[in-house]
Amino acid sequence: MNTSSLETLQQVFGYDSFRGDQQAIIDHVVQGGDALVLMPTGGGKSLCYQIPALVRPGTGVVISPLIALMQDQVDALLELGVRAAFLNSSQDWRTSRDVEQAFLAGELDLLYVAPERLLTDRCLDLLSSGRISLFAIDEAHCVSQWGHDFRPEYLGLSLLHERWPDVPRLALTATATTVTRREIAQRLALDDAPHFVASFDRPNIRYRIIEKNEVRRQLLAFIQAEHKGDCGIVYCLSRARVEETADFLCQNGIEALPYHAGLNPAVRAANQARFLREEGMVMVATIAFGMGVNKPDVRFVAHIDLPKSVEGYYQETGRAGRDGQPANAWLAYGLQDVVQQRRMINESAGDDAFRRRLGAQLDAMLGLCETVTCRRQRLLAYFEQTIGPCGNCDTCLEPPQAWDGTVAAQKILSAVYRLWRERGQRFGAGHLIDILRGKPTDRIQQYQHETMTVFGIGADLSEQAWRGVLRQLLAQSLLAVDHEGYGTLALTDASRAVLKGERTLMFRREPEKKVRSPRSTGTAKSKDAIVLPGEAQQRFEHLRTWRSEVARSHGVPAYVIFHDATLREIALTCPQTLDDLGGISGVGVRKRDAYGEELLRCVRG
């Protein structure tokens, strides 16, 4: 063995030292061991297989479901001087043939392959004729049938173990509940492999969950106040909502693009490429977008619909701030989200066990939304990790009050009860609130609901407050969306205890003041921390302009050339020689040789 892992890290990638478990994982794989690696998005999984692939003889084969991103991944490695290539269906046969020959000739350090391609006879034969240093199974949670990214092709990957029992296999994922972890280990025949579980905390991401009223306006206000000109992702549940939200943002001067599975594949690919290549783009997307997108400078991830599970939510928000700089995760959620999702679960195909599982996932998500304690504590508890209050989420920064909602809950539950018992009727949230607030609408008159004893008994609370009560009752399953599919509400077994006064209910009340923007809080984590002193800022802008030109001429995203953090460090420290440059994080030997002189000129100019 000629070069050590640490030397490879420093010379090829330009980083000083390993993070967290990287060293242990890499040592283990270099020595030929299998492993299951669980790290949050942005935790640094790629190096865990890239470095062993460089250190061990042969080619590292990376299995990734993300054909559209392979080109960028390979380009980034080529920029570092790593001999990388990919095989997938987007290539013509000539290119594939060249890649195959390079592999057979032992001229590749890394080869990326999509699972469906790998499982073809032709590809298996090819791999058998060359030398393989390791298999890296990226996005390994795609093997989980219960998960949100299930890919049937992944199930075929257990064959790697049978065919190449001596080649180390490394499965990597950012999804880490015990259930998923066990399922991955079992399906990929990794039962004996050690599990490396990193901390899932992403301290630079500020978590915030707000009450939804006019969500598009709220979103716009958030972006305008805190993220003007920043790159971000907005997640929605449906295609129609993606389209209308992207249009709305564009009409209001925010550059936004839509992304969902209903778009023509060419348009989708073009939008993704623009998001990766242009600065300050906002992608409005369904959850079909984002897996494997490793753009480091996404400054915010916003959800305007309630995500279906904490696991999915954490992966999606993890796409913000991979560069370690401050970033925001923002979610707006309201009564309608709960009604809609409970209804979708009732109507979903699949057996009871499946529905129960969806229900449990939703309950965990609702628990996070309604919590009066630190959001991050809740999030990490979901991954069975404990921390103290984080100081960087909305509840830590501006603690909400809890209020005794027992009487309010009794009023609304008894309205539901009486409607059903006395009249055999069920209604949705809006009408119930009208009854309680004593509002003489046409519908109230039509059904003569003004004659009910509960009519007007809730005039003391605003409509908004009642929606909050209903939402929290639904969140705690003290009310249910009935099975007929109209979003009407019914009591549950648990409602009885509240009606009988056997249970006290404490609800979350939003603080009057909204959480101020990171810009105005002036904490060490605020955005201001990124702004450089006068001249350095100028140098930084200068370097960025240079970078865009290089990126454009190479046809790669700007961050593939250098990350912002690297340019910032150069702008601040003003390196004078190539040696000085080599000491900067993110400048490896290859990049120093290729760009060093130009960088020095930029700094002097």
Say how far apart CA 79 and CA 562 lie, in whole Å: 10
One of 67, 126, 396, 413 touching Zn ion (CB under 5 A): 396
Distance of closest approach, residue 395 Cβ to Zn ion, in angstroms: 6
Q: Is 321 in the site for ligand ADP (CB under 6 A)?
A: no
Q: Within 13 Å, how many C-alpha atoms sit on residue 231's CB side? A: 22
Residue 24's nearest CA partner among 41, 42, 44 is: 44
Give which of Zn ion, ligand ADP, none residue 303 binds (C-beta under 5 to 8 Å, depending on kind): none
Whole-number Å distance between alpha carbons of 204 and 227:
16
- Contact between 374 and Zn ion by CB under 5 A: the answer reads yes
Compute the least distance from the CB of residue 324 to ligand ADP, in Å: 7
Tokens of 118: 């790998």
Residue 228's Cα: distance from chain center in Å?
Answer: 21
Cβ 374 vs Cβ 395: under 8 Å: yes
Q: Does 322 sit near ligand ADP (CB under 6 A)? A: yes
Q: What is the DSSP string of 382-413?
A: HTT------SSBHHHHSPPEEEE-HHHHHHHH
- Judged by CB under 6 A, the residue of 3, 4, 19, 462 near ligand ADP is 19
Q: Which does 44 bind (CB under 5 to 8 A by kind): Zn ion, ligand ADP, none?
A: ligand ADP
Q: Does 393 bind Zn ion (CB under 5 A)?
A: yes
Task: Classify the C-alpha dihedral 574-577-580-584 as positive or negative.
Answer: positive
Q: What letter represents residue 85's amino acid?
A: A
Binding partner of residue 393 among Zn ion, ligand ADP, none, CB under 5 to 8 Å per kind? Zn ion
> What is the number of residues in the chain?
605
Residue 294 as a binder of ligand ADP (CB under 6 A): the answer is: yes
Residue ranges of alpha helices (H) inside 177-257 are 178-187, 215-226, 239-251
Q: Determine the Cα–Cα distance for residues 156 and 123; give it in Å rounded to an integer.
A: 14
The reply on whether position 205 binds Zn ion by CB under 5 A is no
Q: How far apart are CA 215 and CA 210, in angstroms?
A: 10
209 binds Zn ion per the rule CB under 5 A: no
Environment class of 30 (CB within 10 Å of its CB; exposed 0-12, middle 13-18, buried 19+): buried
- In the list Zn ion, ligand ADP, none, the entry touching 396 (Cβ below 5 to 8 angstroms by class) is Zn ion
Of 48 and 498, the one with the shorter C-beta distance to ligand ADP is 48
Q: Does 41 bind ligand ADP (CB under 6 A)?
A: yes
Q: Determine the residue with CB nearest ligand ADP.
A: 44
333 contact partners, CB below 8 Å, separation of at least 6: 209, 210, 211, 212, 303, 306, 369
Contact 298, 276 (CB under 8 A): no
The footprint of ligand ADP on this chain (CB under 6 A) covers a number of residues equal to: 15
User: Do 371 and 378 touch, CB atoms closer than 8 A?
Assistant: yes
Minimum distance, C-beta of residue 124 to ligand ADP, in the bound complex (Å): 27
Q: Does 45 bind ligand ADP (CB under 6 A)?
A: yes
Name which of ligand ADP, Zn ion, none residue 286 binds, using a CB cut-off of 5 to 8 Å depending on partner kind: none
CA angle 148/154/157 to nearest 5° reads 150
Among 25, 36, 38, 42, binds ligand ADP (CB under 6 A): 42
Closest distance of CB 404 from ligand ADP, Å: 44
Nearer to ligand ADP, 318 or 575 (CB): 318
Task: Report the residue number, 390 or 469, with the smaller CB distance to Zn ion.
Answer: 390
Dist. CA 290–CA 296, nearest whole Å: 12
Residue 70 engages ligand ADP in binding (rule: CB under 6 A): no
Q: Report the residue number, 212 or 563, with the smaller CB distance to ligand ADP.
A: 563
Name the residue nearer to ligand ADP (CB basis): 58 or 586. 586
Q: Which is nearer to ligand ADP, 15 or 248 (CB)?
A: 15
| Partners of residue 490 on adjacent β-strands | 480
HEC string of 258-322 equals EECCCCCHHHHHHHHHHHHHCCCCEEEECCCCCCCCCCCCCCEEEECCCCCCHHHHHHHHCCCCC
Smallest distance, ligand ADP to C-beta of residue 298, A: 12
- Name which of Zn ion, ligand ADP, none residue 158 binds, using a CB cut-off of 5 to 8 Å depending on partner kind: none
Give dist(CA 314, CA 330) in Å, integer: 12
**Of these partners, Zn ion, ligand ADP, none, which one is at the site of residue 18 (CB under 5 to 8 Å by kind)?**
ligand ADP
Q: Which of 459, 496, 461, 504 is nearest to 479 (CA)?
A: 496
Q: Select from 42-50, 77-85, 239-247, 393-401 the region that touches Zn ion (CB under 5 A).
A: 393-401
How many CB atoms sit inside 10 A of residue 252's CB?
A: 14
User: Which of residues 46, 373, 425, 526 is near ligand ADP by CB under 6 A?
Assistant: 46
Task: Write down the least CB distance from residue 329 to Zn ion, Å.
Answer: 12
User: Do residues 248 and 260 lie in contact, with contact meaning Cβ atoms separated by under 8 Å?
Assistant: no
Helix axes 215-226, 239-251, angle to 10 degrees: 50
Which of Zn ion, ligand ADP, none does residue 167 bind (CB under 5 to 8 Å by kind)?
Answer: none
Among 5, 30, 44, 592, binds ligand ADP (CB under 6 A): 44
Residue closer to ligand ADP (CB basis): 299 or 322? 322
Of 23 and 199, nearer to Zn ion (C-beta) is 199
Residue 275: name the closest of 247, 298, 300 by CA: 298
Site residues for ligand ADP, window 429-488 (CB under 6 A)? none
Residue among 25, 47, 242, 498 that touches ligand ADP (CB under 6 A): 47
Closest distance of CB 14 from ligand ADP, Å: 9
Query: Which CB, 396 or 603, lies closer to Zn ion?
Result: 396
Q: Binding-site residue total for Zn ion (CB under 5 A)?
A: 5
Q: Smallest gap, in angstroms, from Cβ of residue 382 to ligand ADP?
A: 19
Using CB under 6 A, pick the residue from 26, 43, 171, 205 that binds ligand ADP: 43
Provide the binding-site residues for ligand ADP, judged by CB under 6 A.
Answer: 15, 18-19, 22, 39, 41-47, 294, 296, 322
Residues that bind Zn ion (CB under 5 A): 374, 376, 390, 393, 396
